[in-house]
Amino acid sequence: MIVLTQRLRTLVLVCLLPLTLAACGTPRVLELSQASARHQDVAGTVQIYVATTRESSAQPVWFSGERAPRLSFARLDITVPRNHKPGELELPDSGPGDPLKHFVATNLTRLELAPVVADVRKDLQRRPPSERDVLVFVHGYNTNFADAAYRFAQIVYDSGFKGVPVLFTWPSRGELLAYPYDRESAFYSRDFLEANLRAITRDLGPPRMDILAHSMGTLLTLESLRQAAIRGDGGFGGKLRDVMLAAPDVDLDVFKTQMRQIKRPVTVFVSADDRALDFSRRFAGDKKRLGAVSSKDTETIAELEKLGARLIDLSEVSSGDPLNHAKFAASPKVVQMIGERLRQDNGIGFTGPQLGDKIGDIAGGVVGTVGSTVGLVVTAPATIARGVR
């Protein structure tokens, strides 16, 4: 009877989730805008390099949710509307959008390995030394190619990041109930992500590489870093600086075993009111997810800190995200603070504010430096982690 009741609860949960956690509609695609946008009509253009384990597809899908046998590459330009507000992602209900009002893709060029390496190396070499960092973004579950590209463009623009953005996009089907498929696709992609990270640090020549991963993408990232550490070079030639995990959809017990191999500091954004991770917990045997750790979990926090995790609590930060699962990108307060700290270019250390800190407690800002601007993408919001509305 108990087993039947549990199965019934799970069935009801799965049936109701599409109504409570997701909006109905056609999956977003990346239609290239045919409208010409004058320089003065847009706030800026973000150029992103793409590495993907998604199967190639015809436009406007470009890369589907199916698994490819090898990595594919592309270069993508996305314009930012002049009326853009930090933390928001202005997109049309359908179609390619109006450059005056929306984020729009204006160009996508598929590239083979040799051309993309040459392209990025030239891009790095013509930049001043302070702008030669590479930021790799690994998106989460229920995210198709278009959604990943637009979200990363918004993060890059709002954070003020001046280096080279690289989107690693893996075969999520972009469907709420495809959670098991997405999880297996994340495991499928771990060798490819490790190889891509090695190629960046070995062949492109950046002084630093930083990783920002979200949701299920943190599982993929941690697995890749774990196996890189086991191979003997988890620091990727000393060029890997900050590893930033936003709302990680990772089992706490699994994370602990991963960190015992990774043996390096990671910064973790958590929020006790993350509704998407509450769904994940129920789907995964009622095991708490890393991204849902609460300030009340004092023993867990102490154990995670010993393993090198630095937790930043965003539980009381408001954002436009109804699931509270994308606060790292959707909270205006967070992205504005990120931008300010990036402009100062002072870096940020791992010895600053921790879980439960309030803005009034740390008005002087975070302490310590590691000489990396990209690390601010996740760690800077510690200064506003609580008490902000």
Which tens digits make up the pLDDT trace of 69-110? 999 999 999 999 999 998 899 999 887 789 999 999 999 999
CATH of 27-330, one of 3.90.1150.10, 3.40.190.10, 3.40.50.150, 3.40.50.1820: 3.40.50.1820
Mean pLDDT is lowest, of 119-133, 231-245, 311-325, for 311-325
Match 């407690």 to its residue by tokens. 361
Both tokens assigned to 284: 């995964």
Q: Strands across the sheet with 134-138, in order?
A: 104-111, 63-81, 42-56, 164-169, 134-138, 209-214, 240-246, 266-270, 309-313
Match 């990232």 to its residue by tokens. 221
Are 230 and 252 in contact, with CB atoms under 8 Å apart? no
CA 331 to CA 378: how far, in whole Å?
12
Question: Tens digit of pLDDT for each residue in 151-175?
Answer: 999 999 988 888 999 999 999 999 9
**H helices within the chain, ranges in order?**
2-20, 113-125, 145-159, 179-188, 190-199, 216-231, 252-262, 275-283, 298-306, 327-330, 332-344, 376-379
Question: Tens digit of pLDDT for each residue in 262-318?
Answer: 999 998 989 988 888 877 777 676 678 999 998 889 999 999 999 999 898 888 887
State yes or no: pLDDT of 376 exceeds 90.
no
Per-residue pLDDT, 389: 31
Higher confidence at residue 328 or residue 253? 253
Both tokens assigned to 113: 């390995």
Question: Tens digit of pLDDT for each residue in 214-224?
Answer: 999 999 999 99
Per-residue pLDDT, 286: 63
Are 353 and 383 in contact, with CB atoms under 8 Å apart? yes
Q: For the chain, give me the number of helices (H) and strands (E)?
A: 12, 9
**H helices within 29-188, ranges in order?**
113-125, 145-159, 179-188
Per-residue pLDDT, 244: 86
Mean pLDDT of the chain: 80
CA 351 to CA 366: how far, in whole Å?
8
Are 18 and 92 in contact, with CB atoms under 8 Å apart? no
| Domain spans of the chain, in order of start | 27-330
Match 């936003």 to its residue by tokens. 246
Are 348 and 297 in contact, with CB atoms under 8 Å apart? no
Q: Which residues of 31-54 are buried (b: 16+ CB within 10 A; e: fewer)?
A: bebeeebeeeebeebbebbbbbbb
